[in-house]
Structure 1
Amino acid sequence: MSKKPRGTESSDFVHHFEGASTLDGLLELAGSPYDTEAVLALMKEAHADGASSSELIPQLFEGPPRFPSPDVARLMYQNLLGLWDLVAEGKGVRLEDEGPRPPRPKREKAPAPSPFAPGEPDAAFVEAASRHLEEDVRARERLTHLFDNRQDPLLGALDGAGLTDEGYAVARYLLFELFAMLELGWPAGVATVPPGALATAPTPDAPPVPAALATYAEDALFEAEHDEEHPLVPEELAPVRNLVTRGLAALWQARKKG
């Protein structure tokens, strides 16, 4: 095992590989799909190609690493850099003291919910779709790109609505989630919403928005209003709610015919 100070940084941060069982648990906590054995193989390949640890380590995660505390983050990076040092120094790495390690169970991602078309989503669908978007990084990225491209006029109108950065972020992400849920549940897809949709209330003959989606939006706004770090102030909540309500109505009305 390797243990050495990291340059001029704080003396309590040391490169120290504590073993596969420790690093496996830390990687899983942080959301990496790899275990220590796979990381070691990637490190050997990267080092042989002349890459640095700072180039490789971010690639061990599908998105930003998740840590329950700064101490866990520090411990994981200490172990990863300690393992990298062993590889760089050409030292052998013994992952297990005895016997083979049992296979690491794969983390199951929440599957996409079954479409609700030709009906409308209920609370169970909305919950399943929300969990799927949270857990399936690739699905979320695909739908994010689709939202950015197809709903560019809507986003342009939202950008010009005069919201603060916090208000814009809340409205934008909530409209993305609602769009993504509709895309998941309506196979024909959702057409581009005209930018004027955010400036006017839905017409009386517009199809009513499903209660499950309206409730989800209202719950999300309530959470934003009571966020501990960046709460949405009351004077900002009203225009954000108005824009989200109109945006949801426009998205629901923009469903394509199957």
Structure 2
Amino acid sequence: MRGAGPSGRAGGLPAVYEGPEELSALLARAGSPHDADAVAERFREAQRLGHERADVIPGLFEDEPRFASPEDARRLYGNLFALWDRLARGLSISREEPEAPPPLAPPAAALPERGASPGTVLPPALVDAVWKHLDALTDRERQRLRDRFDGAQPNVTAWLDALTLPEAAALAVHDLAFEAWAMFDVAFGDRVDTVPFQTLRATHPEPATLETTQPALAAYVSEALDLVAEEDASFGAATRAEAERVLATVAAALTEAVAAEEDA
């Protein structure tokens, strides 16, 4: 999850516009009183005044948005981000309007050799290389990797799904936990074992801080959560603290699951 990082995507979200009908339905399910036309008018006015989308999106909801699942949140925000970009290019909210094909995405960044990192601490250069690689993946490639994550660490995904978190935090921790696993997988390869569910449950009340267990990952997570806070006014101090605690738990459990070189 890279907030609105170098690629302009937020939270690893694909900026896909599904059309006014789908957007209106997603807004209604999330509790917004506005439909796609009203949102478009707000976006156009904000762009005319030079405002950022992060200044506008929180005002689309009278209360904290409601989502049935993290996927619904991804779809809504992906549609909103894509609509903002579409309007900024002078296009309408109709998907039927011809649009120039987007520029070719850069090839995914090269990765270090899988499993070549010694010890159990993620090197800063590897963290940087992996997030850039993830950021350059197509939506299909990224989904395939998420499927690998679910298969390799089913207890992590099940534990995250069982947590009661505000929607902003749920979306952030699911994306960042996936990206953390991808970093561990590249760094340590087959030395990363499956994390037991009970380890996560036992660690969660008082995990070691990310800065202590994985300092390079801590810097990445801090920047990503800063960007989430800029995009979502509901992501306050208490919500962020819980997201940090959950991610510290996942990182500690993944670190513990890395076998020593001689045992691999």
* Coarse TM-score class (shorter-chain normalised): 0.5 to 0.7
* Superposition TM-score, scaled by structure 1 size: 0.55
Give the aligned partner of residue 40 of structure 2.
none
1:214 Cα deviation after fit: 2.3
Corresponding position: 1:196 with 2:198 = yes
Matches within 5 A, 1:139-178: 139-178=141-180
* Structure number with higher relative contact order (C-alpha < 8 Å, ≥ 6 residues apart): 2
Cα gap change, 1:177/1:196 in structure 2, threshold over 3 Å: closer, same or farther?
Answer: same
- When structure 1 is superposed on structure 2, of 64-73 and 236-245 the one drifting more is 64-73
* Superposition TM-score, scaled by structure 2 size: 0.54
Which of 87, 102, 105 in structure 2 is aligned with 1:70? Answer: 87
Cα gap change, 1:181/1:72 in structure 2, threshold over 3 Å: closer, same or farther?
Answer: same
Which of 219, 241, 245 in structure 1 is aligned with 2:223? Answer: 219
1:80 Cα deviation after fit: 6.1
Give the aligned partner of residue 237 of structure 1.
240
CA distance in 2, matches of 1:113, 1:168: 30
Amino acid at match of 1:214: A
Cα gap change, 1:139/1:185 in structure 2, threshold over 3 Å: closer, same or farther?
Answer: farther
| Contact preservation (8 Å) 2:127, 2:183 | yes
User: Aligned to 2:189, what secondary structure does the other structure show?
Assistant: coil
CA distance in 1, matches of 2:152, 2:135: 21
CA distance in 2, matches of 1:203, 1:237: 15
Corresponding position: 1:123 with 2:115 = no
1:145 Cα deviation after fit: 0.4
Give the aligned partner of residue 231 of structure 2.
228
CA distance in 2, matches of 1:255, 1:79: 50
Give the aligned partner of residue 136 of structure 1.
137
Cα gap change, 1:70/1:197 in structure 2, threshold over 3 Å: closer, same or farther?
Answer: farther
Amino acid at match of 2:117: A
Which one has a larger percent helix, Structure 1 or Structure 2? Answer: 2
Amino acid at match of 1:113: P
| Contact preservation (8 Å) 2:105, 2:136 | no
Give the aligned partner of residue 5 of structure 1.
none
Give the aligned partner of residue 34 of structure 2.
none
Cα gap change, 1:184/1:140 in structure 2, threshold over 3 Å: closer, same or farther?
Answer: farther
User: Aligned to 2:235, what secondary structure does the other structure show?
Assistant: coil
CA distance in 1, matches of 2:179, 2:148: 12
| Contact preservation (8 Å) 1:198, 1:243 | no
Task: Structure 1 unaligned segments of length 5 or more: list them.
Answer: 1-9, 11-62, 82-103
**Alignment identity in percent?**
25
Cα gap change, 1:171/1:179 in structure 2, threshold over 3 Å: closer, same or farther?
Answer: same
Amino acid at match of 2:221: A
Task: Structure 2 unaligned segments of length 5 or more: list them.
Answer: 1-36, 38-77
